[in-house]
Structure 1
Amino acid sequence: MTLPMCQWLSTERSEDHLVAWSENREWRQYEFRLDVLSLIASLSATSHSRWALCLEDNYSFAVALLALIYSGKTPVLPGHFRPAVLAEQQNEFDALITDLPLSPDCPVLRIPFAPQAMLTVLPEWPQDASVILFTSGSTGKPQRIVKSVSCLELESQWLCGLWGTEFTDARFAATVAPHHMYGLSFAFMLPLSLGLPFATASVKYHEQLRSLAAAYSLVFISSPAFLERLDPTLNTPKLRHVFSAGGPLKHAAARLVERTCGDLPTEIYGTTETGIIAFRRQYQPDGVWTLFGDIAFSPCPDGNTALVSPLVSPSGHFTLSDEIRMRPSDPRHFELLGRKDRIVKIAEQRVSLTEIEQRLCQRDLLSEASVLTVEKRGRVYVAAVLVLSRSGEQFLDSQGQAALLDNLRQTLRSWISPVALPRYWRIVAAIPLNQQGKRSAAELQEMFL
């Protein structure tokens, strides 16, 4: 039903097979193959082995990733396009492929690129091909993860086994980029494995989604950050399937998607390290999660939960950072209770950053809050980034910021210890998000520099 990556450019697909499309044009199989061959020729003239990909255009990403693997080089996916953070990761790659005005301190190959002497035959596909990704860094510095292509292909086979027959003649569109694990698996691997076309540009607004859905039958790859902000007044044609990942979707948001787009979304639970773990559809609030077929949980003596999965290479085991409540009578289903690593130590006391966020958001003065730790002069403090509600904005206008923050501190004092009170505060229009719809840890930290 699916083709492995080494056969995506093969003659098993016709020359005029549609690979990708944008508002202005389409890309066919013969163009895809020629573009990959041309980039292989350009790469062969270089000695650099690790190439970072910072590409906004999803078709260019597909060309670049395949060309690098065929060239025996390693694709590195930094997961962002921020120059300052790229500079910090400079030791992770030797050169950069980009379609953006980035100027890192390394060789850069810009797309569109000047083609070299054209190759006519693809090099042999390396059997040990891999891709380097990074964790989101939501709880610390992003960690480097090596993901084998064989693991990515196995994951695609699982997904196709569950939902592939639903996707016949559909097209893929996404709000998330393929530079993180979720986008790589669902917006890149899945459509190309199935031979289904994907949109070259990310969907940024509901109006764009409605326009695409009016023209095509869509599989939509998105995140809670986008889905929770859908406009219920927009009449969107029914979507073929909606996926969401990056964090649990609120039940009200899941029902909003169903009313607005005609499909109750399938939520995916997974991590960069593990790949996909489980899925659910929220027919009821806080619905339980179902493990994918060849995955199991194993309780650890220390209270943590170990994951046993063939998608975890090479050990097959990984200790999760989430609180899992398994059902003794039904080991395939479980409840997801939240991250354990949102517990930090301040002055030798255990502090739950999640609890502080929840206590803050109980006040009608706020619509959202993000709580983190910052280090100042060798000491660790709690900091809070706030998005005000309408009543909060009115309070700020009438009584000022000092009174507003004092009001919030008084609220927290009833619930948490003095060392857990945020020392630093910022009021913003919106919590910054990365391309995957997750909170951008780097941008949040920068607010307190």
Structure 2
Amino acid sequence: MSEWIPLHLLLQSARPGRTVGALDGAALDHAALLARARRWQAAFAAAEGRDWALYFEDSLAFAAALLGAWSAGKRVYLPGDDLPGTLQALRPHVDGFVGDVDPCWQPLHAAPATDIPATGVVLDPHACRLVVFTSGSTGQPAAIEKRLDQLGSEVEALQQAFGALLAGAQVHGTVSHQHIYGLLFRVLWPLAAGRAIQPRRFFHEDLVAALAAAPSVLVATPAHLKRLPPQLDWAGARGQLRAVFSSGGPLPAQAAADVREVLGIAPIEVFGSSETGGIAWRRCADDAPAWQPLPGVQWRIDDGQLAVASAHLAQGGWWRSEDRAEASPDGGFRLLGRADRIVKIEERRVSLGALEQALCRDAGVAEAQVLVLPGTREQLAAVIVPSDPALAQAGDAERRAFIGRLTALLAQGHDAVTRPRRWRLVAALPVNAQGKPTQALLQALFQKTLPSPQWLACDAATARVQLVLEPDLGAFEGHFPEVAVLPGVAQLDWAIRLGREAFDLPPRFLRMDALKFHHVARPHDVLMLQLDWDAARGVLGFRFSSDHGIHASGKVLFADAD
């Protein structure tokens, strides 16, 4: 078993023979990791500003940059992804970006390997800071600052609880280290314990082979574990797996049973949050046992809600969570749903969790998420994953019958005001990079981007379609805050999309010609779209009009693929 190294001493001196993982296809030992961290330390020391955003695909490349930033006195921000919108929102809060981001962000690069002294560094556990973001599963993502001493306390608790299971195991994961769960389980804990870190992989043949190659631990989320492909040959992996961890949300009982069947091992669920760190754990062997606190974590029930105290918290004292809970006879606790998921609809208190539990009692429902849709009149909506995947793509009649059955089920305990009024059937819940369904992703399912087209005429060269501008169209949101106006870019997008439905347009967009916007279009307007296709010239002409006159017109030129 490798020697345990506290996180603040990782850069103190190289440990001969200590492998930390594979980087760029080659084994990386502790000395090489320290050398990379020193190159980053030199780069950060020469860079102005305290706050830097790190985004890396490879966990060991990330680890070297993180340690280098800390040793240079920088505070590190971890964006959950590298989407332009995410980085743009982070831009006012950081001095620069590092890692696998687009060159337009002018990322900082590690210093050359020459002339960098091989001196040890002891990190200050209280001065080294990291900012992570909540997943946004219950609202907008929030920034949470963590100190190195908090992170160190948590990995020591994990080692005390599970270290004996993982001796000699290499770490594979399907969750990103850009989130607190992946950061702890796939980077910081393995570095401290001397476990080899493997590149991020997903569920396919390569992962099956990798898990079978050596003693392994799999770090995953419920979203990933629910999609284990049973048709693959997992026999080799079953002989090598030491543990399967799941966190980031509740693991359904059926998914836990599937993991036991496919991988031959009961998954270990870890419960916690970005704010609190790890709180408790349970092994899903036969049923859903009570949660047992991690070492060093105290808990109690305050007015029906779980409160915790531990060295993982940013401040001393007790933290009262939004999780409703009750004590169990075995000394643990059971979770009863989120207190912050009790909402008011037309002055009526509604538990979203209770609605989801009621829906899941129907055998045809694999998963359910209930949310509040904002607007001048808030209303409940439900996103359902049917047990039969084909139902998500079934015809209107079959879908209406299924939703009617669920509505009747809810009517046994909920009146019309406190039941969902809008429904979506999907093959799988939309999830973010951490495998969690967020409010933004769920709400997007109900934001129509194109009105339902009513085709009035269509032949090889012309088409006419009527579009009713409903107020809840997503195109109205965010463009003109003072008044709802249909933006021109939406009209152009609709013309092209509907043009492709009406005609066999070439695949390559060339340019726009004669584009003009005459009058604004607003909610409740009824637009008439005239489309004219000149196949010989590759020109699609369009014109939007209504009782108010012409709104927009222009031409779009297309060409065959190169």
The answer to whether TM tops 0.5 is yes
Structure 1 Cα separation of the partners of residues 277 and 389 of structure 2: 41
Structure 1 residues 49, 415: CA separation in 2 closer, same or farther (over 3 Å shift)? same
1:367 deviation in Å? 3.7
Q: How does 1:319-338 map to 2 (within 5 A)?
A: 319-327=320-328, 330=330, 332-338=331-337
Q: How does 1:383-394 map to 2 (within 5 A)?
A: 383-390=381-388, 393=391
Which residue number in structure 2 is paired with residue 18 of structure 1?
A: 19
Q: How does 1:200-211 map to 2 (within 5 A)?
A: 200-201=199-200, 203-211=201-209
Structure 1 residues 71, 210: CA separation in 2 closer, same or farther (over 3 Å shift)? same
TM-score relative to the length of structure 1: 0.88
Aligned AA for 1:57? D
CA deviation string 1:361-387 (max 9, x = no partner): 44455443322222124x432233333
Which residue number in structure 2 is paired with residue 27 of structure 1?
A: 28
Aligned AA for 2:179? H
Whether contact under 8 Å (1:42, 1:116) holds in the other structure is no
Q: How does 1:152-167 map to 2 (within 5 A)?
A: 152-167=151-166
Which residue number in structure 2 is paired with residue 36 of structure 1?
A: 37
Which residue number in structure 2 is paired with residue 212 of structure 1?
A: 210
Q: Say which of 416, 419, 436 aligns to 1:418.
A: 416
Whether contact under 8 Å (1:364, 1:391) holds in the other structure is no
Which residue number in structure 2 is paired with residue 192 of structure 1?
A: 191
Which consecutive residues of structure 1, in runs of 5 or more, have no partner in the other structure? none
Structure 1 residues 362, 94: CA separation in 2 closer, same or farther (over 3 Å shift)? same
Whether contact under 8 Å (2:14, 2:34) holds in the other structure is no
CA deviation string 1:399-448 (max 9, x = no partner): 27666655554554443232333344444332111233221333223333
In terms of mean alpha carbon deviation, does 140-149 or 258-267 score higher?
258-267
Structure 1 residues 277, 116: CA separation in 2 closer, same or farther (over 3 Å shift)? same
Q: Say which of 435, 455, 459 aligns to 1:437.
A: 435
Structure 1 Cα separation of the partners of residues 87 and 416 of structure 2: 37
Q: Say which of 5, 8, 13 aligns to 2:7.
A: 5
1:194 deviation in Å? 0.7
Structure 2 Cα separation of the partners of residues 282 and 406 of structure 1: 34
RMSD of Structure 2 on Structure 1 (CA): 2.7
1:188 deviation in Å? 1.2
Which residue number in structure 2 is paired with residue 81 of structure 1?
A: 82
Match of 2:332, SS state, is strand
Whether contact under 8 Å (2:42, 2:111) holds in the other structure is no
Structure 1 Cα separation of the partners of residues 393 and 169 of structure 2: 49
Structure 1 residues 383, 191: CA separation in 2 closer, same or farther (over 3 Å shift)? same
Structure 2 Cα separation of the partners of residues 103 and 414 of structure 1: 56
Which consecutive residues of structure 2, in runs of 5 or more, have no partner in the other structure? 448-473, 475-562
Which residue number in structure 1 is paired with residue 98 of structure 2?
A: 97
Matched, 1:352 2:351: yes
Structure 1 residues 226, 395: CA separation in 2 closer, same or farther (over 3 Å shift)? closer
In terms of mean alpha carbon deviation, does 405-414 or 94-103 score higher?
405-414
Structure 2 Cα separation of the partners of residues 154 and 383 of structure 1: 41
1:79 deviation in Å? 2.5
Aligned AA for 1:235? D
Match of 2:374, SS state, is strand
Whether contact under 8 Å (1:171, 1:218) holds in the other structure is yes
Structure 2 Cα separation of the partners of residues 439 and 406 of structure 1: 25
The percentage of aligned residue pairs carrying the same residue is 33
1:339 deviation in Å? 1.9
Which residue number in structure 2 is paired with residue 372 of structure 1?
A: 371
Q: How many residues align?
A: 439
Greater RCO, 1 or 2 (C-alpha within 8 Å, sep 6+): 1
Q: Say which of 378, 381, 396 aligns to 2:379.
A: 381
Match of 1:276, SS state, is strand
Larger radius of gyration: 2
Structure 1 Cα separation of the partners of residues 182 and 222 of structure 2: 14
Which residue number in structure 1 is paired with residue 525 of structure 2?
A: none
Which residue number in structure 2 is paired with residue 240 of structure 1?
A: 242
Aligned AA for 1:2? W
Aligned AA for 1:54? Y
Matched, 1:223 2:225: no
Q: Say which of 272, 292, 295 aligns to 1:293.
A: 295
CA deviation string 1:307-358 (max 9, x = no partner): 122221212321021121113x65x312222222221111211112223333
Structure 2 Cα separation of the partners of residues 27 and 416 of structure 1: 59
Structure 1 Cα separation of the partners of residues 43 and 439 of structure 2: 36
Structure 1 residues 270, 127: CA separation in 2 closer, same or farther (over 3 Å shift)? closer
Structure 2 Cα separation of the partners of residues 258 and 404 of structure 1: 31
Match of 1:169, SS state, is coil
Whether contact under 8 Å (2:132, 2:180) holds in the other structure is yes
CA deviation string 1:183-235 (max 9, x = no partner): 1221111110011110122x211533311122121011112222222234433
Matched, 1:343 2:342: yes
Match of 1:79, SS state, is coil
In terms of mean alpha carbon deviation, does 37-46 or 89-98 score higher?
89-98
